[in-house]
Amino acid sequence: MSKMNYEPVFMKPYFQHNIWGGRKLETEFGFDIPDGDVGECWAVSAYPGCESVVSGGDFDGLKLSDMWAQQPEFFGDLPEAYRAAGYPFITKIIDAKNDLSIQVHPDDEYAGIHENGARGKTECWYILDCPDDAELVLGHNAKTREEFTQMIEEKRWNDLLRRVRVRKGDFIQLEPGTIHAITAGVMLLETQQSSDVTYRLYDYDRLQNGKPRELHIRQSIDVATIPAGDPEKLVKHTENAKPDEDAEIEKCKFYEILKLPVQCAAKLDEADVFTIVTVTEGRGNLVMERSGSKYALRKGDSLILPAGWDNACFDGNMNIIAARSMRR
Ligand code: ZN
């Protein structure tokens, strides 16, 4: 069977309203978003009801889930069960105008048992922008599950929750069981397993339409990692990444994340799996080395490079975050 000559596939995002969202996806990223508070750009997603769609090229208008089902070679030679479970990730750009609730996610095993076979959620954040004194909620101070439960019952949130300073360009890997919350003013790029299973531990006693949002205290206590890992070690600074070289900033069992600051000319070598590429800053071009096809890129663009076909060459002045599947 001869290999098809695939080209990169650009994605048109799905946008989601959130009570904590703002307008920066329009003002900072230039997206054409719906009216109101929009917190999430699902840039690359095949999650049911929140799908991104191919924009331009041979597959224009195709939903990502259909692309995944109909063009398996584009994504690489993946294990059959992995393929059958559907496109594995969600890539989001998040604009938090207000604080998000304090939450935690289960792993695959817990979600499989308690959430109808859903995936768990490992996720990671690359900070796109934040206030000078920004802090995220990362982890907690309880030493035992009993103490964790008691502090929740007594509503000692300030004693329980840890806050960690972050700055633009920081990267945070959030394993399942990590208590976390995005705070007001932070914009970030999130790469996560394709799952929407979130347990809300605390919502600052806020009301939505006159009522508090549902909490999931029991599940949060079940899945929280206790004691929590050192939050300072969770935050990786990436601003010293060398220009025009790709640097691995994370590798877990689901994905590897690369940072590629393009200052002049840079390259991502072809891989045996698809690569999700997001331009987080600046503008430039993508030229596929063998085919010679050229694409203009700008901040906010997300695309998928096909598996095992061609090296991707970048020029211009921009920052790229790329993600690749580790399950092959
Ligand atoms: Zn989360």
> pTM value?
0.96
φ/ψ of 150, rounded to 5, equals -65, -45
| 192 and 129 both lie in a single domain | yes
Question: Please, which pLDDT band fits residue 3 given cuts at 50, 70 and 90?
Answer: low
34 burial level (CB within 10 Å; 0-12, 13-18, 19+)? exposed
Final residue in a domain of this structure, among 237, 265, 299: 237
Tokens 């995005």 belong to residue: 182
**Residue 215 pLDDT more than 50?**
yes
**Residue 2 pLDDT more than 60?**
no
CATH of the domain at 225: 2.60.120.10
| 119 and 231 both lie in a single domain | yes
Active-site amino acid positions: 200
190 Cα to the center of ligand 1, angstroms: 9
Q: Is 66 left (phi over 0), alpha (psi -120 to 50) or beta?
A: alpha
pLDDT at 147: 98
204 Cα to the center of ligand 1, angstroms: 16
| 123 and 213 both lie in a single domain | yes
Cα–Cα nearest to 93, from 324, 301, 306: 301
7 Cα to the center of ligand 1, angstroms: 32
φ/ψ of 279, rounded to 5, equals -90, 115
Which whole number is the average pLDDT over 185-200? 97
| 103 and 177 both lie in a single domain | yes
Task: List pLDDT tens digits, range 265-302.
Answer: 999 998 999 999 999 999 999 999 999 999 999 999 99
C-alpha to C-alpha distance for 21 and 133, rounded to whole angstroms? 20
244 Cα to the center of ligand 1, angstroms: 31
| 28 and 67 both lie in a single domain | yes
**Residue 31 pLDDT more than 90?**
yes
φ/ψ of 273, rounded to 5, equals -130, 165
* Residues of the domain holding 251: 247-325
18 vs 90, 131, 217, 289, 293, CA distance in Å? 17, 20, 22, 41, 38
184 Cα to the center of ligand 1, angstroms: 15
DSSP category for residue 169: T
Half-sphere exposure of residue 112: CA atoms within 13 angstroms, side-chain side = 4
C-alpha to C-alpha distance for 166 and 169, rounded to whole angstroms? 9
| 159 and 199 both lie in a single domain | yes
| 147 and 261 both lie in a single domain | no
